[in-house]
Each structure stands twice: as structure tokens, then as C-alpha cells.
Amino acid sequence: MPTGTRTRAHILREKSHAFCHALVAPPPPEELISTYFRKDNPKIIEYGPSWCRDRLPFLHTPYEGVSGDNSCQRYFEVLSKILKMHLPKDAFPGPDGFIVDAEAVTVGCPTGGVVCVTGKGRFESVKTGRSYDETFMYRLSGFDDEGRIGCWEIWSDSLSAWDAVGK
């Protein structure tokens, strides 16, 4: 790659790396969303069994848009009432640990680019104080021309979260 030339893959890797590392000491949700997500209808979904929703209402629900009911901002509000996220400085790999396909598209995110990465951290129940360690996977996709995220999909250890939260 010639000096001064950044490919789409490089932009997606750089922006995804910056987003994930921002989660280690996250700014307020509004700032996180406005900095790293598309302005036009971004999406967040954390996968998990629907039967877990009584204790983990942020699971299995698509959050769309910047603010309002069922928005990306609402995802962070619901999550923070249930779990505290404690991510170490090495929660995510360096840029080379982010898998990038600059041309791929996913269902529901019509623009190109997919980035996958695994992370690790400790999560703590707000209600019970019980915590657990987990490894999770993110798929970021639907990037705009500047590398802002259109869709953030999360696969995590929902059974450990369900157990930590208790009845």
C-alpha cells in the first residue's frame, strides 16, 4: 500500500479497533454512538435465547436508530441496569486480530464491509454482585464511507449472565 493511501479494509480495521478499545473505558452512550455509528438507522443486536429475556431483556431484541424506544441508546440503558462491563486493557487484540472483509454484506445491512473480532472481560450483575469471565464475539458491518458502523452483532455467554443475575 503506497504511503498516504488507505484501503477500505484498512479504514474498517482502524475504525473497528478504535470502537472496541473505546469500550474499555466507554464514554457516555450518546458519544459512543455519535462517534462510531452511522447516523442513518444504526443497529445493535445481542444474540441469546429468547427464554433468557425475563432476566436479560437486552438479549434477542434488535435495537435500531440513534435514540428513542428500542434504539441503540436504549440498548446501553437496558444493559447497564443489568450488567457492569469490566474490560481489561487487553480485552481486544491489536489491529491485526480484526478479521476484515471489505466487500462482504450481511442481511439487514446493505452497505459493504464486515469485521469480526473476539474480546474478553468480566461482567458483573448489578442486582446480585456475582460476576463471571467470558469471551465474546462481535461482528461489525454495514459501514459507511468513513468507516462508521451500521450494525453491531454480539454473541456472548448468555447462560453465565442469566445465572449471575439470578431470580
Q: What is the SS3 assignment for 15-51?
A: HHHHHHHHCCCCCCHHHHHHHHECCCCCEEEEECCHH
Domains (ranges, CATH) in the chain?
Answer: 8-165 (3.10.450.50)
| DSSP assignment string, 46-79 | EE--GGGGGT-TTBT--EESSSSTTSHHHHHHHH
133 strand-pairing partners: 122
Specify whether the CB–CB gap between 66 and 33 falls below 8 A.
yes
pLDDT tens column, 17-33: 999 999 999 999 999 99
Calculate the alpha carbon distances from 40 to 11, 71, 127, 159 in Å: 19, 12, 35, 33
- Convert the pLDDT of each residue in 83-112 to its tens digit: 999 999 999 999 999 999 999 988 777 678
**What one-letter code names the amino acid at 155?**
W
What global pTM score does this model have? 0.93
| pLDDT at residue 1, as a whole number | 43
Determine how many CB atoms are found less than 10 A away from the CB of residue 89.
8
8 Å CB contact between 120 and 86: no
Q: What is the pLDDT of residue 91?
A: 98
Q: How many residues does the chain have?
A: 167
Closest CA to 79 of 166, 153, 167, 161: 161
Tens of pLDDT along the chain (167 residues) come to 444 558 999 999 999 999 999 999 999 999 999 999 999 899 999 999 999 999 999 999 999 999 889 999 999 999 999 999 999 999 999 999 999 999 998 877 767 899 999 999 999 999 999 999 999 999 999 999 999 999 999 999 999 999 999 97
